[in-house]
Chains A and B, each alone.
Chain A
Amino acid sequence: MSDSLLDRRTFLGAGLGAAAIVAVGSMASCSTPTAPTGGSVAGAGVELPSYIRFAGVTADIPGTDAGIPDTFFAYPANPQPATTELPADGSAIRGSVPINKAVPPSMDRNSYWQELNARIGSDLSLTITPGADFAQRFATAVAGDGLGDVFTVDLGFAQLPQFLETQCQDLTEYLAGDAVADYPFLANLPTDSWRGTVFNGAIYGLPITRGVQSSVLLYTRRDLFEARGVDPQPTTIDEFLQTCQAMTDVRSNVWALTAVPMSMLQQMYGLPNTWGVDEAGVFTHALETDGYKDALELGRRLIADELVHPDSVDASTADQKLWFGAGSGAIHQDTYSGMGSMYEVGSGGPENYAVGLMVTPSESGEPAPLWLGNPNNTISALKQADESRIRMLLEVLNWLAAPIGTAEHMFRKYGVEGVHHELDDNGDPVMTPLGDSEASGGTFPIEYLIDGPRPSYYPGRPHVAQDIYDHMEVVIPTGVRNPTVGLYSTTQGTNGGRLTTMANDAANAILLGREPVSSWDEVATDWRSGGGDTIRAEYEEAYAQTQA
């Protein structure tokens, strides 16, 4: 079996399967719900890096403690350098990263990359692997010791804690507590994100932070809703069904939903965010609750009433997103950070193409509690080395984490003005074709080694940042956490994937009408005896340690 075969599975796994139960997850792309596959057996004793906010830039709407990120309607004017020295020492640095776009031209043919090397002060050679193939690449590179000095970690890797402990650098002494102050841009990363970097009681990684932006929601094609005169904001589940019916026209190959948004259906019924925990520290998985059967029943009905694109089950999320862009689906489940791509898929669409954000309806008509996504997309780690090399690499990563509004950030994301981007009247960078290819249109994959706190900023689309802010203002206060974020369960690592495949398969059979909803009880029982109970016990134990 070649790698590529397996990869397509990973890729396709993001179809209804993964959407059905947001629990698997390896390397999630920025627009796939990130997976709460684990974190660590609590930071027993380890002190997380102190949070020292970078004060150099003020947002148009500053972020809130509840988690709404800094909102910018335009790029802060006159970005100034925030560092004075080259971070690297001239020795070559090797790394491995995934990418969720086309792989950019290699270093020798890439003026952006060469300029990046000049500004870092070392050649940064990266092995860039398409995101769908990254899990396989990671596993083989681990076996062949080919990941380099600094690399993105596949959080779905089965023996992650052992791997980190034996092969990767323990960063605790460099970053714990106030030690992180040596690296001001790393200190600017939120505390919540650092929790996910703790394994075996030590800091083993750096967070690729997303904050609340990895939370999933329902996107709507606002222009299509307007054209049909349908209100894109149903408040109850019944209204949601009516909305879907009004947006479906099978004879013209138009369906309301690109796929069954299983995550959102669970939220409509107020289910725990994959896992829930009560006062006594007892964990319950969403699939064990009665509400899960309500969600399945609703999903089954959506398919039976032909309100869902008929090819959604075996389609990739990328395909489903294209249907949304092409208008054969009007409602699509994705993360906040997928917003940019919601507009990208519509670039060839109608002039008035517009994307709205639905406040999730509920049984009562109040906004459904939002499942907060994993605060990290993933983490990156460093190969073991001596202290001076580690400090040098941390300097480079610190430089790469410079936040929005600094000259470092402006270059890192958008390249050189006049070459990779031009500034429009609003002061926003507009990528040139060269910048689109060489700097990956503003998402060069160094953003998977480290990234600053992710702002809500959409160059050239200030109204989008406003739309997101308005949506977040309503739903973020309702947010529910997944209590397993920051905890690690060994059985989840080794057995979780199999259990998820089994549960997804059973859920699909019900959604597609092959099995009755009542068959789910047996699935939940099998899930418990097949390893679910062990996973629960491990999470409960780890959770108890954090509470102690």
Chain B
Amino acid sequence: MSRTDSASTASIAVSASPTLSRAALEAPPPRRRLAWHARIARDRALLLMAAPGMLLLLLFQYLPLAGNIIAFQNYLPFLPLGQSPWVGLENFTVIVNGDPAFLNALRNTLVLTLVQVVLVFPAPIALALLMNSMLSERLKRAVQSVLYLPHFLSWVIVVAIFQQVLGGSGMLNSFLRSQGAETLSIIGNPDLFVALLTSQVMWKDTGWATILFLAALSQIDTSLYEAAKVDGASRMRQVWHVTLPGIRAVVILLLILRLGDSLTVGFEQIILQQGGVGLAASEVLDTYVYNNGIVGGQWGVAAAVGLVKGLVGVALVVGANKIAHLLGENGVYRS
């Protein structure tokens, strides 16, 4: 398919009334619809390449969506799907009946989301800018490799490492004890829990998250920097006027996608560290669902909360994308 082809089909596909005539004028007259087998024959290579991915998506993302019907059932796992008793919206009452434990979990989740969007999200951008300004290509590669590594450690390992360093019998406190000094309560301290979680997330994933930003940075036309330099722009002004606008589209795209799972804040990471700090400080929506739904076999309730979380995520993504379009940005897709 040629470039013009794809452009024209795209504009036709979204044809709103006023643009239709213009599109019709600019583009070649709408092609006669090819028979489906002819289209398949034409695109077979592309279709074949997409097939495995589509299959996985279908099997593991779309088919399981049907399982959400258990949100409306008193689900008994040993009965075939659909034979468990229907209970209407009863499973959803936990969300609206003002259960203080649920509200506490919601509050903790929102606090963590806010902190993570404000602190964790920009971190890889800053790191990518730093790495981008490194001159030695070999050094840059080495630094990148080191920074990517923690991403591949599971949460159990990351939590254990933090425990070994900062825990009650960890390196830091052992050293303090051997010096006869007071020990510091860091792990298991409810007041520091948000800070601990945030630093763990940053340590683990900041390096990995730079990949997309580095790719975007490499796309910026170097002549822009030269032009800015000629105009006497300082390093900071170059970053502000060239670099950041150059990666703006990627930043907005990722931010919007991030909003989609804003109510998901690290189930595994939190549940591994919940004992010491207590539920008041550490319960989030996912652990609430686990502790109240899954532990007691209340699968319906667990599914109901998950469904609502998913819908909120979709609403946030669609809403943010809409705002991006209104502001003239591309968002997740071109409007």
Contact = CB atoms under 8 A, between A and B. Distances in A.
Interface of A: 1, 5-6, 8-9, 12, 15-17, 139, 142-143, 157-159, 162-163, 166-167, 250-251, 253, 309-311, 313-314, 328, 493-498, 501-502, 505, 508-509, 512, 514
A8 to B, nearest CB: 6
Given A9-B271, A143-B77, A253-B174, A311 B296 contact: no
14 contacts: A8-B156, A8-B272, A12-B271, A158-B297, A159-B77, A163-B76, A309-B168, A311-B187, A314-B275, A494-B296, A494-B297, A498-B296, A501-B295, A514-B278
B61 interface: no
Contact of B276 (A8, A166, A309, A313): A313
Interface stretch (B131-139, B141-149, B241-249, B285-293): B285-293
B173 interface: yes
Contact of A497 (B173, B286, B295): B295
Contacts of B310: none
Interface in B265-290: 267-268, 271-276, 278-280, 286, 290
B78, B163, B177, B183: which has the most chain A beta carbons within 10 Å?
B78
A250 to B, nearest CB: 6
B80 to A, nearest CB: 9
A311 B276 CA distance: 9
A513 B14 CA distance: 63
B273 A314 contact: yes
B268 A5 contact: yes
B169 A253 contact: yes
A15 B276 CA distance: 10
A305 B76 CA distance: 48
A494 B271 CA distance: 21
Contact of A494 (B183, B276, B298): B298
Interface in B126-172: 156, 163, 167-170
Nearest to A1: B267
Contacts of A16: 275
Contacts of A498: 291-292, 295-296
Given A5-B267, A253-B174, A309-B169, A508 B275 contact: yes
A17 B274 CA distance: 10
A163 B267 CA distance: 29
Of A1, A493, A495, most B-chain CB atoms within 10 Å: A1
A166 B294 CA distance: 22
Contact of A12 (B188, B272, B286): B272
A497 B302 CA distance: 14
B149 to A, nearest CB: 21
Contact of B272 (A143, A314, A505, A514): A314
B98 to A, nearest CB: 15
Nearest to B168: A310
A405 to B, nearest CB: 40
A4 B318 CA distance: 31
Contact of A143 (B78, B168, B178): B78
A105 B16 CA distance: 64
Nearest to A147: B78
A529 to B, nearest CB: 13
A157 B297 contact: yes
